[in-house]
Amino acid sequence: MDCTNPPFTGTTRRLPTSPCTHRPACPSATSSDREAARVVAGHQEQGWSLLCNGVLVFEDTGELLPDGRVVAPRRPAAALA
């Protein structure tokens, strides 16, 4: 049995803007309020949750968007003394 991956063809698979089927619809993965989407798979013990718009949200506030882009974690600004 051949267990190798097929060769990369230069194309990427696109996910729908939002596979959300409930009403009101959740924000799309490209909107600024994308984190307001409903959690469809939560794995707090592993530090991540999958939202219905396809965004993976990590406990450090980092995100992985459905198109593969990474959103760096947002850290609170240091308190000014």
Predicted pLDDT of residue 79: 52
**For residue 34, how many C-alpha atoms fall within 13 Å in the half-sphere facing its CB?**
23
Mean pLDDT rounded to a whole number for the chain: 78
Predicted pLDDT of residue 1: 41
Predicted pLDDT of residue 8: 46
Residue numbers in the chain where pLDDT is lower than 70: 1-19, 76-81
How far, CA to CA in Å, does 25 sit from each of 2, 44, 54, 63?
Answer: 42, 24, 13, 20
Predicted pLDDT of residue 22: 74
Predicted pLDDT of residue 14: 46
* Structure-derived torsion over alpha carbons of residues 50, 67, 26, 51, reported in degrees to the nearest 10: 0
